[in-house]
């Protein structure tokens, strides 16, 4: 059944107006991590007007539960947190919270989820034209989670047990994507987004005046040996395995003054891979290079890796069904090296993560990131089709 066929031009305009209002209202009140009181209050105010039960799966999260008495459920997920970015869009609806901005599109994600929940509510209430509650093969759970940008709020939602209680069978989510044409929905089977892990190398040496450099143990030199060798090694691993392996360091600190050997140095980077096997291989090699670099300068090193997020891997069987439900679905040719905590959901139940083009080209996390809300209609349309999917 086509979820769009009863939407005439006037209804479409009203739907766009509603999506735009939600998105811009939420854009004005960006909040970080788990501290989302205004965002949660806004989302709750919309959900409480729908034909659903509003749940709190875990602290900082909300869910709209449409219980149709079906044996299984489909889950739609959105993230809610913003970034510590000072906005420079100049938009009339710009952030009202200094130093915070929805620079990653989570305001759009929430608007689409609210749009999908609103449509399910109309179906359940018999106000969705020819689509009725009988056409919905599963109960529907729409999850609004915190802390995607920081500590992986998805993991806490999984641990809450809400999916087991709802007998969830599958999950879907979206991310706005500037590099795709406006309104294009895209994805790929298997690996889509990378496993991320923060890498920190702390070198300890002995400081001395540079005139007595032989008495020192140069931690800066050890770090300078380590950083390029580790980055190059991961590139070689990728070439050898035919599988992406990216390591880059974005921060390096060492020493206190220019005329003294640095007694300490700290390098901070990020490792991106698509499999546990490659992660283990890269970590072992990075550790060896760090120890060699430290030894060469007479220093010691402490190397640590954060647990990070698992890779986003789309379930192949479910993806095949999605392709049938979304005939215009574009294919992402190669896995992407960004990370997303939707991956935690995919370790609980089959899931497919999708990208929605904004056509803007302005990168995510930029202080000028913005988009035309008309693309949100395509996301809501896709959600409808996915909810109706057998």
Residue located via tokens 């996301």: 379
Classify strands 312-314 and 330-331 as parallel, antiparallel or unpaired: unpaired
The answer for 66, left when phi > 0, alpha when psi is -120 to 50, beta otherwise, is: beta
Strand ranges across the sheet with 62-66: 53-55, 62-66, 139-145, 73-79, 168-177, 351-357, 185-187, 330-331
Question: What is the bridge-based pairing of β-strands 139-145 and 53-55?
Answer: unpaired
Alpha-carbon dihedral 91, 96, 98, 99, rounded to 10 degrees? -60
Which CA distances in Å does 327 have to 29, 75, 188, 323? Answer: 36, 21, 14, 6
Q: E-assigned strands of the chain?
A: 53-55, 62-66, 73-79, 139-145, 168-177, 185-187, 190-193, 195-204, 245-254, 264-273, 300-305, 312-314, 330-331, 351-357
- Nearest 5°: the CA angle 107, 109, 111 is 70
Active site residue 280: no
149 is catalytic: yes
Dihedral sign for Cα 14, 17, 23, 28, please.
Answer: negative
Query: What is the rounded CA–CA span in Å between residue 315 and residue 292?
Result: 41
Give the active site residue among 87, 107, 148, 149. 149
Q: Which residue has the tokens 């709190």?
A: 56
The three-point CA angle 255-259-260 to 5° equals 45
CA distance 163 to 143: 10
CA separation for the pair 368, 78 (Å, rounded): 22
For 114, the 3-state DSSP assignment is: helix
| Active-site pick, 31, 79, 169, 341 | 79
Buried b / exposed e along 338-351 (16+ C-beta atoms within 10 A): ebbbbbbbbebbbb
Positions marked catalytic: 79, 149
């Amino acid at each position: 059944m086509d979820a769009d066929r009863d939407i005439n031009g006037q209804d479409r305009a009203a739907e766009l107006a509603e999506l735009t209002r939600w998105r811009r209202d939420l854009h004005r009140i960006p909040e970080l991590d788990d501290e989302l009181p205004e965002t949660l209050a806004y989302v709750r105010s919309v959900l409480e007007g729908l034909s659903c039960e509003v749940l709190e799966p875990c602290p900082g999260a909300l869910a709209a539960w449409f219980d149709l008495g079906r044996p299984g459920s489909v889950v739609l997920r959105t993230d809610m947190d913003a970034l510590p970015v000072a906005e420079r869009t100049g938009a009339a609806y710009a952030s009202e919270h200094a130093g915070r901005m929805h620079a990653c599109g989570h305001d759009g994600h929430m608007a689409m989820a609210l749009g999908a929940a609103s449509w399910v509510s109309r179906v359940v209430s018999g106000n969705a034209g020819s689509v009725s509650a009988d056409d919905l093969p599963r109960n529907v759970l729409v999850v609004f989670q915190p802390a995607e940008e920081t500590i992986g709020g998805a993991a806490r939602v999984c641990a809450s047990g809400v999916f087991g209680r709802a007998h969830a069978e599958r999950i879907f989510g979206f991310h706005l994507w500037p590099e795709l044409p406006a309104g294009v929905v895209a994805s790929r089977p298997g690996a889509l987004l990378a496993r991320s892990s923060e890498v920190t190398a702390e070198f300890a040496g002995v400081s001395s005046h540079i005139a007595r450099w032989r008495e020192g143990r140069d931690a800066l030199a050890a770090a300078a040996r380590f950083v390029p060798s580790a980055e190059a090694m991961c590139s070689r691993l990728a070439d050898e395995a035919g599988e992406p392996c990216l390591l880059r360091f974005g921060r390096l600190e060492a020493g206190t003054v220019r005329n003294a050997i640095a007694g300490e140095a700290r390098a901070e980077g990020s490792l991106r891979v698509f499999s546990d096997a490659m992660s283990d291989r890269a970590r072992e090699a990075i550790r060896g290079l760090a120890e060699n670099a430290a030894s060469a300068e007479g220093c010691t090193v402490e190397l640590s890796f954060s647990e990070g997020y698992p890779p986003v891997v789309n379930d192949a069987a479910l993806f095949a069904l999605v392709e049938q439900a979304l005939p215009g679905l574009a294919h992402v040719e190669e896995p992407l090296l960004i990370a997303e905590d939707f991956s935690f959901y995919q370790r609980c139940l089959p899931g497919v993560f999708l990208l929605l083009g904004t056509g803007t080209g302005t990168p995510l996390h930029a202080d000028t990131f913005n988009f035309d809300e008309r693309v949100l209609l395509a996301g809501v349309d896709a959600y409808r089709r996915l909810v109706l999917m057998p």
